[in-house]
C-alpha cells in the first residue's frame, strides 16, 4: 500500500541529471561583466570631435585591446565588448613607432620631415589590420594638426 510506483526511479534519475546540467551551465558563466568599450569610445570621440587639438586618457580594466580606425574592442575574462567611433577615422599607434612619440607629446615637425610624411605614416597605420594586444590599463588619445593634416592618434 505504501510502495513507490514503478516509474519513480526514472523520475529520480531525471531530476538528478537536470541538476547536474544546471550546475554545469552555472559554473561556465563568466564571473563579471565584459569591459566598458563604450566609455573608451566616448573619450576617443570627445578628443576627435574637438575644435582644437587635445589630449585625454581613459582608464580601462581589460587586459587586451583591439584598435581600428573605426572601432575599439576590449577583452577580459568576462567577455569582449566593442564600440564604433562616432568621429573617425582614428589612427592606432604601434609601440615604438614615430607616431607614438607624437602621441606622447613630441612635435610632429621634429619627428617627421614634412606634413606629407606625417600624413603617409598615419595612413599606413590606419591601413593595418587590427590585432589584439596588451593594454597598460589606459587608453591615450591625442589629436594633432600640422599644416592642414589633422590626425587623432590612439594607443591602448
> Of 75, 144, 134, 66, nearest to 104 (Cα)?
144
Quote the pTM value.
0.78
Helix (H, G, I), strand (E, B) or coil at 69: coil
Q: Are strands 138-146 and 55-59 parallel, antiparallel or unpaired?
A: antiparallel
Q: Give the closest residue to 69 by CA, choosing from 45, 37, 91, 44.
A: 91
What is the domain partition of the chain in residue ranges? 37-155
81 three-class SS:
strand
Q: Which pLDDT tens digits describe the chain residue by residue (156 residues)? A: 566 565 665 666 666 666 666 655 555 555 667 888 999 999 999 999 998 899 999 999 899 999 999 999 999 988 999 999 999 899 999 999 999 999 999 999 999 989 999 999 999 999 999 999 999 899 999 999 999 899 999 997
Phi, psi of 71 (to 5 degrees): -155, 150
Other CB atoms within a 10 A radius of the CB of residue 156 amount to 23
Amino acid at each position: 500500500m505504501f510502495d513507490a510506483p514503478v516509474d519513480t526511479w526514472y523520475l529520480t534519475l531525471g531530476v538528478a541529471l537536470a541538476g547536474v546540467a544546471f550546475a554545469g551551465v552555472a559554473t561556465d558563466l563568466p564571473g563579471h561583466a565584459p569591459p566598458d568599450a563604450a566609455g573608451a569610445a566616448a573619450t576617443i570621440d570627445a578628443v576627435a570631435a574637438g575644435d582644437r587639438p587635445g589630449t585625454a586618457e581613459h582608464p580601462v580594466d581589460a587586459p587586451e585591446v583591439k584598435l581600428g580606425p573605426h572601432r575599439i574592442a576590449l577583452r577580459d575574462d568576462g567577455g569582449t565588448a566593442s564600440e564604433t567611433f562616432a568621429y573617425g577615422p582614428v589612427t592606432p599607434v604601434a609601440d615604438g613607432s614615430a607616431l607614438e612619440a607624437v602621441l606622447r607629446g613630441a612635435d610632429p615637425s621634429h619627428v617627421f620631415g614634412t606634413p606629407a610624411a606625417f600624413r603617409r605614416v598615419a595612413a599606413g597605420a590606419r591601413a593595418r589590420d587590427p590585432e589584439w594586444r596588451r593594454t597598460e590599463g589606459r587608453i591615450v588619445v591625442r589629436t594633432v594638426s600640422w599644416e592642414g593634416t589633422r590626425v587623432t592618434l590612439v594607443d591602448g
